[in-house]
A and B are shown apart, each in its own frame.
Chain A
Amino acid sequence: MNNLSTLMRSRVECEHLDLSALAFESIRRGRRIRRVRYAGAGLATAAVVAGVAMGAAALPGGNSAATELQPATGSTFAGPAAPVSPTLKSMGGPQSAERALDPRGIPLASGESTAATQPVPLVVSSPGWKCGAPADWKMECSGPGGRQVVVTVRAVAGYQEWVTDPDKGAGSRGVTTAPHGDYFATIQGNSKTAQEDLHALADSLHWK
């Protein structure tokens, strides 16, 4: 006669599972869970932002967010890109939202194209990767296997901050290129993009 504990151990002691297959399939399904979670968070954020923007527009005398982001240069450009990105602000550039800036923080001359239409001074030429049109000195690039990166051109004045601040380029996430003239670039990827991919992309950049 045995107690239940002994009987249970006796019953399942020969039961085994292919643990490698289990880990592989769990990671695959777990990634889907993460994607759904991130997508939900993104939608929630977008809903909050939209709600705040609508609330601000509804206030007496208030302007819509889109209106505030319009450059006051008389340019006919009406795209979504803000003339002053948070990145540029953090690098000590002019804080005014009235003028479009290049990555060095220099206001563009009146009539000069805004950041959204200004071509970035580099080209990504890595096999298998395709990049969209640059916007606000950023380029989104897609690679094989769902890999995605954002290449951002930044003013060289902020380089030391990027290579020493652990919250920026000195951390383990992303890659910071060496300075090239007045600029340098940072590359950050999604969860499918390994650090080696980022380094390979950094090596493939051609500066104009």
Chain B
Amino acid sequence: MGNTAADHGEFASFVHATGTQLYRTALLLTGDHHLAEDLTQTTYAKVFGSWRRVHRAENPVGYARTILLNTFLSHRRLRRSGEQPGRTADVTETLADSADGATSDADPSTRVDLLAALARLSPTDRAVLVARYWEDRSITETAADLGLSETAVRTRSKRALERLRPLVLDLSPEGIM
């Protein structure tokens, strides 16, 4: 109605203010630019669907982040059976490329290895690491975001870091809790 233009303007401003951060989160979760773009777009479409309620909320960014995580996890659950084998092959290939230095840019030790290594983790483990180390969420907040117990977050985080360590050469021991 009359507020439509204002709604669109406010929403566009919100996307411009938060889009880069959310896209980078999506990239760390999916490990793929196209999937990350699609996940980000789906998240914002859902946010826009409830924009009049969301923009009055105390923390619209937190709302968007929660939608992104839930969309990622539910999408992965739906496609789990059909997608994993291809993903494993892609990761193996990418890691091999990285070892040769064939696809590296400025920092070969992190530019390729990190996304590929993250992709080897289960979606939930990846979401735990992204929430804890990228979003700087506490264990309590991460548990609430992902619907896990705090013990499960600690366990998954520790196990995931241990799996990452041999794959990411630059990952320091203190990266492990």
B-contact 0/1 string along A22-51, CB 8 Å cutoff: 110111111111100100000000000000
Interface hub of A1, A9, A37 (most chain B Cβ within 10 A): A1
Contact of B107 among A3, A10, A173 (CB under 8 A): A10
Q: Is B82 an interface residue (CB 8 A)?
A: no
B168 with A195: CB separation less than 8 A: no
A33 with B46: CB separation less than 8 A: yes
B37 with A17: CB separation less than 8 A: yes
Contact of A8 among B28, B47, B107 (CB under 8 A): B28
Q: Is B159 an interface residue (CB 8 A)?
A: no
Interface hub of A22, A192, A198 (most chain B Cβ within 10 A): A22
CA distance A163 to B115 in the complex (A): 60
Question: Which residues of the other chain, A, contact B171 by a CB distance below 8 angstroms?
Answer: 1-4, 7
Counting residue pairs across A and B whose Cβ atoms lie within 8 Å, the total is 136
Number of interface residues of B (CB under 8 A): 47
CA distance A190 to B4 in the complex (A): 10
Residue ID in chain A nearest B112 by CB atoms:
A11
Contact of B49 among A5, A30, A193, A198 (CB under 8 A): A30
Interface hub of A10, A23, A37 (most chain B Cβ within 10 A): A23
A194 with B19: CB separation less than 8 A: no
Number of interface residues of A (CB under 8 A): 41
Residue ID in chain B nearest A35 by CB atoms:
B49
A15 with B23: CB separation less than 8 A: yes
Q: Is B175 an interface residue (CB 8 A)?
A: yes
CA distance A25 to B28 in the complex (A): 22
Residue ID in chain A nearest B33 by CB atoms:
A15
Question: Which residues of the other chain, A, contact B42 by a CB distance below 8 angstroms?
Answer: 29
Contact of A7 among B3, B40, B47, B168 (CB under 8 A): B168
Q: Is B84 an interface residue (CB 8 A)?
A: no
CA distance A29 to B45 in the complex (A): 5
Q: Is B78 an interface residue (CB 8 A)?
A: no
Q: Is A59 an interface residue (CB 8 A)?
A: no
Q: Is B15 an interface residue (CB 8 A)?
A: yes
8 A-B pairs within 8 Å (CB atoms) are namely: A5-B175, A7-B114, A22-B40, A23-B15, A31-B48, A190-B1, A193-B1, A195-B5
A residues apposed to B, CB below 8 Å: 1-5, 7-12, 15-17, 19-20, 22-23, 25-34, 37, 172-174, 188-195, 198
Nearest first, the 3 closest Cβ-Cβ pairs linking A and B are: A30-B48, A195-B2, A26-B44
